[in-house]
Structure 1
Amino acid sequence: MKSLDSSASVATSRSATPYGAALSLLTTVFFMWGFATVLNDVLVPHLKAAFSLSYTASLLVQFCFYLGYLVVSLPASRLIARIGYKNAVITGLLGMAVACLMFIPASAFFSYQLFLFALFVLAAAITLLQVAANPYVVVIGPPATGSSRLNLVQAFNSLGTTVAPIFGGMLIFGRSTSGVSTSAVETASQRMLDAQAVQLPYGIIAAVLIVLALIVWRFPLPVLNEHTQTEDLSNEPSVWCHRNLAWGVPAIFLYMICEIGIGSTLVNFISQPDIGAMSHEAAAKYVAFFWGGAMVGRFVGAVILRAVNPHKVLASVAGAALALVLIAIMTTGYVAMWALIFTGLCHSIMFPTIFALGIAGLGRKTEQGSGFLIMAIAGGAAAIVQGMIADEVGLALSYLLPGACYVFLLFYALWGSKPVVRAAT
């Protein structure tokens, strides 16, 4: 793949369409994939109740979803090289719409397996969008402000993750027996009706995605020249010789276990009698605080990181998250509930900071290192391990897994992220 700097120098039609207008349109794309991704946090407890699943089985939702990042990332890059960025964005949006429409037969036939397949298709489409839209946002405007543009659209992605639990709470939990009542669903027919509660919200999402794809198709997005030769890097040391990258990949992987594991089980945790003692519909509203904290923290962190060493900031939030998750494990009631919710605030700067530290000093191998870090997002699939632990020892103690991950992130911040090039062996 070509470097982003060289891509920026060969934009051919930037003057034809102001990149500000294109950026405004792309913010809606970022919003929609953030929205669809975090709606899984509502889907996990909903399907758990509808299909009478264990925690392990319910977290197959996230396993199948994040498996898409591992399987599709590299093929997506090759597809973009063939069809271009704009067509890739359109394809990704339509793929998301198809996946959302697959929820209708999945619920009609009461098939958990079909739900899981639809989620894999949804993740594959979102992966294509991520691989296409992130670099496109960087290159359509002045290179000097590429990072600023990407942070801006990612903020709208966070807005989508904040709104999604509220939307899901109203249109999924609010229209199902398991969502509005703290008692278990008893009859098979009622559980089938609960499963069908997803048809309306995902049908609405599919319609919005199709309209958005049509708008992108008709919009004169700046065209990028693809004719750039790939540099020969065969004589340079392996990218894995860089300590910050070698430890950064597992850091991203383990961070995703924390984000997805906590986010996916938060409704069930809050609903427990000794924690919040509330319905799933009510608990979903508090999940919005978890993701809203991540959004607010991203804006605040952007300011703090201008003045404070990122290693120290990452160490601080990793330590704070560890303390909060231990409080959630050892206490009950609203103290435990809010402790777990506030881990979202700590999560806010973790991914972008780990990513930035991981590619520091890679030089011409920055893109190669970035690719490995993006593939590490598949760590979200490993959140199923927390479900296994929850089934064996209880949901509260299962948060020891994110706690162990935070210890590794603290190690990475204090030592593993320091740029050191080791001799190749």
Structure 2
Amino acid sequence: MSQETTAPSSQSSALVPMIIIGVLFFVFGFVTWLNGALIPFLEIVCELNGFQALFVTFAFYIAYTVMALPAALVLRRTGYKTGMVLGLAVMAVGSLIFIPAAQASNYAIFLVALFVLGTGLTLLQTASNPYIVHIGPHESAAMRMSIMGLLNKGAGVVAPVVFTVWVLTGMDQFHEDVLATLTADERAARLAELSNRLVVPYLYMAGALVVLMLFVHFSALPELKTTEDEPSEDAATDRFGILQYPQAVLGALALFTYVGVEVIAGDTIGLYGRRMDVEHFGSLTSYTMTFMVIGYLIGVACIPRYLSQPKALLGSAVFGILFSVGVLFGSAESEWISEMVYGWTGLFPTVPNTVMFVALLGLANALCWPAIWPLALADLGKYTSVGAALLIMGIAGGAVIPLAYGHFAETTSHQSAYWVMLPCYAYILFYALKGHKMRHWKKP
């Protein structure tokens, strides 16, 4: 049997591909974490309740489930590099669809645009994540993934701030109390003015994606070849063979729960802050992303020298449980935690303790993605791309679990609805302790 990968594995030969893929991960983060600011924005523009607004995450992340297996088939035909180029092209189309959506203030078109963006990202993610895992030694894969995550979440810090400065200025004139004083025509005109603020930013985004697409196409990015390229003697076995690997199947479920809690922490904090009259609610996603960046820095520095991949995942699960309890029972009035952590710097406004615990979930979540991927893809051989597609399908947790949060937030309260994260972290704890070690299903 051939080696699992023929991609370059030395530091020097891996440097250029790492830089190119790093740029793509920054793009992933920028596009993905715009949703945190986009959700409360569309809640105002399209006059939605909190549950309806969270269909932003559903439309975006459900694309990963619908398109993951087609993306794997595309990659088998085109290769990883061309797949990345196609993904960027699809994302550019999705960005352009935002323009008629904004001009019409039509929520359905916004959701279509988000689905198309998610489709493009599915192609990119299905190609780039296994590329990073296999471009170097397996034991340091989580460290390389942490570097990529650092760029991804760094973009997540920048994106909500850019969106807030560019789009969410002068939001006092769009407060519900102000809008209630206007006639129906005046209200519609004012909301249309707000919606049209999206046109120029997304036009620029489409242009940037086209430039990046051309850059990747003409770059020196080498093709990744794994043993999956060997012809299979049994097509049916090849199609369903991934189900024989518990580490991959259980890993996909771990990714499902992880992405769900990651999206809740990053994308609902703005809604939660708006309900609590936090003035800078549009930029609160940056708080969560900042703590994720800190977590990724810890991963880069400590994995694998001081911290193994399973232990990193174990720590993430434990801290996720602790911070979730903090969200549920933290004070909605006191701000002493944020005052102690960063308030003394004067750089960022402080927030209530319960909001701070949502932001701290970014720290707990940071190492889940880089730890789960190499643990789940271990020993898959020719099933690597199918395993990657299965993991990408797990990203659907970002579509389903936030909707569960939204349902309970509307029927109970936004604070108490955060309990939905506890069973998710409990499952991640199971995968860290046992699930990733399994190589065979127990026979009855």
TM-score by length of 1: 0.85
Alignment of 1:43 onto 2:38 = yes
Q: Are the equivalent residues in 2 in contact too, given 1:244–1:358 (CA < 8 A)?
A: yes
Per-residue deviation, residues 365-393 of structure 1 (Å, max 9, x unmatched): 55544432221111111021211111111
Distance 2:420 2:68 in 1: 27
Matching residue's letter, 2:111: L
- Which residue in 2 is equivalent to 1:322? 321
Matching residue's letter, 1:256: V
- Which residue in 2 is equivalent to 1:377? 395
- Which residue in 2 is equivalent to 1:266? 269
For residues 152-231 of structure 1, what are the structure 2 equivalents within 5 Å? 152-174=147-169, 176-177=171-172, 181=175, 183=177, 185-186=179-180, 187-223=187-223, 228-230=229-231
Distance of aligned partners of 1:86 and 1:338 in 2 relative to their CA distance in 1, 3 Å threshold: same
Structure 1 residue 136: Cα displacement: 4.0
Distance 2:164 2:422 in 1: 28
Per-residue deviation, residues 275-326 of structure 1 (Å, max 9, x unmatched): xx322xx123332121121122022034444334544443333222222222
- Which residue in 2 is equivalent to 1:409? 428
| Structure 2, unpaired ranges of 5+ | 181-186, 334-351
Q: Are the equivalent residues in 1 in contact too, given 2:320–2:425 (CA < 8 A)?
A: yes
Alignment of 1:419 onto 2:414 = no
Distance of aligned partners of 1:401 and 1:144 in 2 relative to their CA distance in 1, 3 Å threshold: closer
- Which residue in 2 is equivalent to 1:99? 94
- Which residue in 2 is equivalent to 1:344? 362
Distance 1:62 1:100 in 2: 16
Q: Are the equivalent residues in 2 in contact too, given 1:329–1:336 (CA < 8 A)?
A: yes
- Which residue in 1 is equivalent to 2:4? 5
Query: 1:295 pairs with 277, 293, 296, which one?
Result: 293
Distance of aligned partners of 1:391 and 1:338 in 2 relative to their CA distance in 1, 3 Å threshold: same
Distance 1:4 1:175 in 2: 58
Matching residue's letter, 1:421: H
Q: Are the equivalent residues in 1 in contact too, given 2:67–2:119 (CA < 8 A)?
A: yes
Distance 1:260 1:113 in 2: 21
Alignment of 1:247 onto 2:246 = no
Query: 1:119 pairs with 101, 105, 114, which one?
Result: 114
Q: Are the equivalent residues in 1 in contact too, given 2:126–2:388 (CA < 8 A)?
A: no
* 1:76 alignment partner, SS class: helix
Q: Are the equivalent residues in 2 in contact too, given 1:238–1:424 (CA < 8 A)?
A: no
Distance of aligned partners of 1:209 and 1:322 in 2 relative to their CA distance in 1, 3 Å threshold: same
Distance 2:170 2:442 in 1: 60
Structure 1 residue 49: Cα displacement: 1.4
Alignment of 1:132 onto 2:127 = yes
Distance of aligned partners of 1:120 and 1:215 in 2 relative to their CA distance in 1, 3 Å threshold: same
Question: Which deviates further from its counterpart, 62-71 or 351-360?
Answer: 351-360
Q: Are the equivalent residues in 2 in contact too, given 1:175–1:194 (CA < 8 A)?
A: no
Structure 1 residue 31: Cα displacement: 0.8
Structure 1 residue 348: Cα displacement: 0.4
Structure 1 residue 335: Cα displacement: 1.3
Structure 1 residue 223: Cα displacement: 4.8
Structure 1 residue 183: Cα displacement: 4.7
Distance 1:241 1:421 in 2: 7
Distance 1:407 1:138 in 2: 26
Distance of aligned partners of 1:192 and 1:85 in 2 relative to their CA distance in 1, 3 Å threshold: same
Distance 2:173 2:310 in 1: 44
Distance 2:325 2:173 in 1: 29
Matching residue's letter, 1:109: A
Number of aligned residue pairs: give it.
411
Q: Are the equivalent residues in 2 in contact too, given 1:247–1:417 (CA < 8 A)?
A: yes
- Which residue in 1 is equivalent to 2:49? 54
Q: Are the equivalent residues in 1 in contact too, given 2:147–2:296 (CA < 8 A)?
A: no
Per-residue deviation, residues 316-366 of structure 1 (Å, max 9, x unmatched): 332222222222222213211211110110000122223333344556655
| Structure 1, unpaired ranges of 5+ | none
Distance of aligned partners of 1:46 and 1:29 in 2 relative to their CA distance in 1, 3 Å threshold: same
- Which residue in 1 is equivalent to 2:79? 84
Distance 1:182 1:104 in 2: 25
